[in-house]
């Protein structure tokens, strides 16, 4: 229906802008395998991130798997269960063991005070997740990693366009993975990227995503995870307007905060000091005892008004059936509480304040 409000909606460039971007492809017929658009987008992302080693990929999940392989990891990886299942699946599919650390109750990122107690002689890396546009405590994580000789990989699927004291989220750790899925703040329809601290890891990643080939030499058991030219062209168009897109999201997010902040039984994600957010999502945590109804009651009420909302993230990835009989540490009570009570309200470029008010009116009408 025309008045249905989805939980997210893809940002789109001007139609003519995209047509102009892809029209040279009809002449070149170079549609994949590191064409002009692919290489241009990599270069422009390096400039935007202020980094040197950015590699495009077919999607964020494949980027994460190839990062793990490029860094040569084996053993245990300390991570969080409060994430999309892709994070945990990537660890498992590369033959590693996820060890789950709890999260902060305020910004929902990994609790750095609980990481060290999970480190064993099998630990090879820490894989924290930037959540909803909130950044992990990278300084504390880096200190722990250096002390114990561990790699740090950030799942930055939610963190495109996020900066802390002017430093991009892409510049943190040994590597970061970005998702450019159509629902993200920045997208290439489908796509992703990996950003590396070290050039040799970047080079190995590029081989792995192209069947493991180096010239005519078959050096690694790689995969096919290359981004095509049409996706890269969409990325070029969207990158030109990323500031506009984030600014539009901020207007809606600020209105939500104005309407919902301080309401008994509602917890909003904490605003992080010195962090320039991308307003990727708007999570709300409901306390049924003080608010008067459950998260699921809110979903049902919104649905009756043609408003979509999402239990994101639910369930915890530590509940994967494949982990059921494995001796994996997964005592994460805060993550469990948040997962059982969090709801992401609609947030996307172009969401007007009148619609935000309608959403908030529906939510607040349930307050008892």
Per-residue pLDDT tens over the stretch 127-145: 999 999 999 999 999 999 9
The second-level CATH assignment, the architecture, of 242-364 is: Alpha-Beta Complex (3.90)
| Contact in structure between 54 and 46 (CB atoms under 8 Å) | yes
Q: Options 3.40.50.10260, 3.50.50.60, 3.40.640.10, 3.40.605.10; which CATH number does 15-240 get?
A: 3.40.640.10
| Contact in structure between 135 and 254 (CB atoms under 8 Å) | no
Tokens of 54: 């950015």
Sorted by sequence, the CB contacts under 8 Å of residue 114 that are 6+ apart come out as 101, 102
- The pLDDT of residue 107 is 98
Q: How confident is the model at residue 175 (pLDDT cuts 50, 70, 90)?
A: very high
Q: How confident is the model at residue 54 (pLDDT cuts 50, 70, 90)?
A: very high
Q: Is the predicted pLDDT of residue 1 greater than 50, yes or no?
A: no
Strands 97-100 and 76-79, bridge-based pairing: parallel
Q: Give the distance, in angstroms, between the CA of residue 364 and the centroid of all CA atoms in the same chain.
A: 29
- The pLDDT of residue 115 is 97
Instruction: Give me the chain's average pLDDT, please.
Output: 96
In 3D space, the residue among 251, 270, 285, 281 whose CA is nearest the CA of residue 356 turns out to be 251
Q: Is the predicted pLDDT of residue 42 greater than 50, yes or no?
A: yes
Q: How confident is the model at residue 216 (pLDDT cuts 50, 70, 90)?
A: confident
Q: What is the mean pLDDT of residues 4-12?
A: 96
As a whole-number percent, the residues of the chain with pLDDT over 70 amount to 99
Go through the chain and tell me how many residues it has.
368
Q: Is the predicted pLDDT of residue 325 greater than 90, yes or no?
A: no
For CATH 3.90.1150.10, the residue range(s) in the chain are: 242-364
Q: Is the predicted pLDDT of residue 329 greater than 70, yes or no?
A: no
Phi, psi dihedral angles at 260 (to 5 degrees): -110, -15
How many C-beta atoms lie closer than 10 Å to residue 290's C-beta?
A: 13
Q: Is the predicted pLDDT of residue 215 greater than 90, yes or no?
A: no
Q: Is the predicted pLDDT of residue 2 greater than 80, yes or no?
A: no
For CATH 3.40.640.10, the residue range(s) in the chain are: 15-240
- The pLDDT of residue 218 is 87
């Amino acid at each position: 229906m025309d008045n249905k409000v989805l939980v997210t909606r893809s940002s789109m460039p001007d139609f003519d802008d995209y047509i102009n971007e892809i029209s040279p492809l009809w002449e070149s017929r170079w549609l994949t395998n590191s064409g002009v658009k692919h290489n241009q987008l990599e270069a422009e992302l390096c400039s935007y991130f202020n980094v040197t080693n950015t590699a495009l990929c077919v999607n964020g999940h494949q980027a994460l798997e190839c990062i793990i392989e490029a860094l040569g990891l084996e053993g245990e990886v300390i991570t969080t269960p409060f994430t999309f299942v892709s994070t945990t699946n990537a660890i498992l599919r590369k033959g590693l063991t996820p060890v789950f650390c709890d999260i902060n109750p305020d910004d929902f990122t990994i609790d750095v005070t609980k990481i060290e107690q999970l480190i064993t002689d099998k630990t090879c890396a820490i894989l924290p997740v930037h959540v909803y546009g909130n950044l992990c405590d990278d300084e504390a994580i880096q200190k722990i990693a250096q002390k114990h000789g561990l790699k740090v990989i950030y799942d930055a699927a939610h963190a495109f366009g996020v900066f802390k004291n002017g430093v991009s989220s892409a510049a943190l750790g040994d590597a970061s993975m970005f998702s450019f899925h159509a629902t993200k703040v920045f997208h290439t329809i489908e796509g992703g990227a990996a950003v590396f601290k070290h050039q040799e890891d970047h080079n190995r990643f590029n081989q792995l995503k192209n069947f493991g080939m180096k010239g005519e030499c078959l050096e690694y058991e790689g995969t096919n995870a290359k981004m095509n030219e049409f996706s890269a062209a969409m990325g070029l168009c969207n990158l030109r307007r990323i500031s506009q897109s984030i600014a539009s999201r901020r207007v809606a997010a600020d209105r939500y905060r104005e309407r919902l902040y301080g309401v008994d039984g509602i917890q909003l994600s904490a605003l992080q000091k010195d962090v320039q957010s991308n307003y990727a999502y708007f999570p709300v945590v409901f306390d049924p005892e003080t608010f008067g109804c459950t998260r699921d009651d809110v979903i049902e009420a919104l649905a009756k008004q043609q408003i979509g909302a999402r239990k994101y993230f639910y369930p915890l990835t530590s509940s994967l059936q494949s982990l059921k009989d494995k001796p994996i540490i997964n005592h994460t009570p805060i993550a469990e509480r948040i997962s059982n009570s969090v709801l992401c309200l609609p947030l996307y470029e172009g969401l007007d304040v009148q619609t935000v008010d309608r959403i908030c009116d529906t939510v607040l009408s349930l307050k008892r």
